[in-house]
Amino acid sequence: MTAQSPRVLVVGAGPAGLAAAAAAVGAGAQVTLLDAADQLGGQYWRHLPEARPSVKEAVLHHGWQHFVSLRKGLEGDRRCEIVTSAQVWAIEQHDDRVAVQVLIGPPDGRDRARRSIVPDALVLATGAHDRTLPFPGWQLPGVYSGGAAQALAKGERVAVGQRVVVAGAGPFLLPVAASLAQTGATVLGVFEASRLRRLAGGWLPRPWRLLGAGKKLGELAGYAKRQVWQRIPYRTGFGVIAAHGGDRVEAVTVARLDANWSPIPGTERRIAVDAVCVSHGFTPRLELAVAAGCALDADGFVEVDAAGMTSAPGVYAAGEITAIGGADAALAQGAVAGHCAAGGLPGDRTIAAAVRARATYSEFAARLDKAHGITPGWVDWLQDQTLICRCEEVTNAQLRGAAELTSSAGLRSLKLNTRAGLGICQGRMCGRSVHEILTRCSEGPLVNAATDRRPIASPVRMGELAAAFHQRETEHQERNSSS
């Protein structure tokens, strides 16, 4: 490391973060790569742990060899420091840079090691999580997000059920169904909320524009082939509108949905299940980007320029926090952002392929939204007693009632008065749904609708905070006594 080599910090070791770290190293930076998990790969390449390695991990993954080579390259490079089990819990903004606060140790541990990093450039690649719209009974054990089924299958080899329904919206339902089938479960159906006409509208026009996205098409075709092979019924224009059971899910109600995703009365059908996996898309994990001061676009993603730089000085973003475009898009965005964070330019030849790929896959994100984006009719499947906020057990009726009684347009006030979004997940599960429900029952736009602002990005023990204070006090006293 020379005095000139910039220090680049990459947060998140999924496709975008790995590509960013590799590109930054390639451009001459000294890189630190952090991930909250104890292995690299993110949710996309989640795999069995070292304690229980798989002989044929590649069977479960797309691009597994690419991951292995990225990982090997970074692990073998002295210019890259990899820190796993590293939870970024806060980011401080200073006038021209940010200070990233990290706790290193077991998740939600008690005496994790503290580290504060002030890099020359920061690349955020924190990814996204499933967005599951609330429906009656969605809090029952046995109802999972699609990501949970995937994570348990890939990271644990746990099958969530024997008779399973997959529902929601988007191409991600296919790999979820495929990996469930690979656990030996019977997938009784995949129910895609969008209707065929809308799917065609999103995916079919100008197909030549997607020619470059060959891998993406291959990936989807691969899922489809496996789906045909497994004889999993795939129905469009249907949704799971309720889950039933006592202490766990026993059945779901599936109904036909109109173009607006509003259930059509009389089309309900009950299916006995022991698990159901529901995802209606993805929510970007924005708390660190918001904490770093990055501006968001109208759709609630981090705004980036051609270099992958955000509105915050020295802060770059890549992957699903900038748009939901899939792993190939994330790899391309990561390579560009990492290269530029290290001082390179978007026009540099070394990243020309990534820049081209990024342009190709950006089309994918727009099509995804056009074909599968959430439409407002979903609120019609809510009942009064449907939980909206899972943590604080706030029902649809309570939420709407508070909005009507207080005639308040303040999201923060409504949250404080109902506690919706104020529980331990800090609105990660319900935030956007609460916002949509309240927008529908208030006259104007909601004020102070800062759903993604969470200055404490992950819970931190008070003892860990206090230790930092006492250490500072001790150092202060030592300095005073020595001077």
Partner 1 sequence: MSSRLIAASDDPIRPKDSAVISISVDGETVTGLAGQTIAGVLLASGRPSWRRTSGDGSPRGVFCGIGVCFDCIVTVNGDRDVRACQRRAADGDQIRSQHDALPNAGVPR
Partner 2 sequence: MVVIGAGVVGAACARSLTLAGLTVVVVERGAAASGTTASGEGNLLVSDKGPGDELRLAQYCAALWPGIAEATASELGPGFPSIEYDPKGGLVVATTDAGAVPLLEFAAAQRGAGVDARPIEVGQALQLEPELNPGITAAVHYPQDAQVQPVAAAEAFLAVARRRGAKVRTGTTVTGALRGSDGALVGVRTDRGDVHCGTVVLAAGPWSAAVAAVLGVLLPVRPRRGVVLVTTRMPHRIFHKVYDADYVGAVESSDADLQTSSVVESTAAGTVLIGSSRQQIGFDDRLRVEVIEELAAKAIRLFPFLAGASIMRTYGGFRPYMADHLPVIGADHRLPGLFHATGHEGAGIGLSVGTAELITAMITGAPSPIDASAFSTDRAGLRGLLGDGLLGDAMPVNS
Report the interface residues with partner 2, using CB under 8 A.
Answer: 90-93, 99, 101, 108, 110, 116, 291, 392, 401-402, 405-413, 416-419, 422-424, 426, 444, 446-448, 454-456, 459-463, 465-466, 468-470, 472
Assess 384 for contact with partner 1 (CB under 8 A).
no
Environment class of 28 (CB within 10 Å of its CB; exposed 0-12, middle 13-18, buried 19+): middle
* Interacting partner of 184 out of partner 2, partner 1, none (Cβ under 5 to 8 A depending on kind): partner 1
- CB proximity list for 55: less than 8 A, separation 6 or greater: none
* Interacting partner of 159 out of partner 2, partner 1, none (Cβ under 5 to 8 A depending on kind): partner 1
Assess 425 for contact with partner 1 (CB under 8 A).
yes
Least separation in angstroms between residue 408's CB and partner 1 is 23
Q: What is the DSSP letter of 267?
A: -
- Residue 236: count of CB within 10 angstroms of its CB: 18
Least separation in angstroms between residue 279's CB and partner 1 is 10
Show contacts with partner 1 in window 154-173 (CB under 8 A): 155-163
* Interacting partner of 141 out of partner 2, partner 1, none (Cβ under 5 to 8 A depending on kind): partner 1
Least separation in angstroms between residue 400's CB and partner 2 is 11
Least separation in angstroms between residue 467's CB and partner 2 is 8
* Interacting partner of 101 out of partner 2, partner 1, none (Cβ under 5 to 8 A depending on kind): partner 2
Residue type, 234: Y
Q: Which stretch binds partner 1 (CB under 8 A): 134-142, 218-226, 359-367, 439-447?
A: 134-142
* Interacting partner of 297 out of partner 1, partner 2, none (Cβ under 5 to 8 A depending on kind): none
Show contacts with partner 1 in window 112-131 (CB under 8 A): 129-130
Q: Which is nearer to partner 1, 7 or 129 (CB)?
A: 129
Q: Which is nearer to partner 2, 195 or 419 (CB)?
A: 419
Largest CA distance in the chain: 83
Assess 51 for contact with partner 1 (CB under 8 A).
yes
Are 15 and 334 in contact by the 8 Å Cβ rule? The answer is yes
Among 202, 222, 401, 423, binds partner 1 (CB under 8 A): 423
Q: Which stretch binds partner 1 (CB under 8 A): 197-205, 232-240, 256-264, 417-425?
A: 417-425
Residue type, 390: R
Least separation in angstroms between residue 418's CB and partner 2 is 7
Assess 385 for contact with partner 1 (CB under 8 A).
no
Residue type, 399: L
Tokens of 340: 């530029």
Environment class of 403 (CB within 10 Å of its CB; exposed 0-12, middle 13-18, buried 19+): buried
Angle 126-127-128 from CA coordinates, rounded to 5°: 130
Environment class of 211 (CB within 10 Å of its CB; exposed 0-12, middle 13-18, buried 19+): exposed
DSSP string, 412-447: HHHHHHH-TT-STTTTTTTHHHHHHHHHHHSSSPPB
Assess 105 for contact with partner 1 (CB under 8 A).
no
Least separation in angstroms between residue 161's CB and partner 1 is 5
Environment class of 190 (CB within 10 Å of its CB; exposed 0-12, middle 13-18, buried 19+): buried
Least separation in angstroms between residue 40's CB and partner 2 is 27
Among 3, 247, 349, 481, binds partner 1 (CB under 8 A): 247
CA–CA gap between residue 120 and residue 110 (Å, rounded): 30
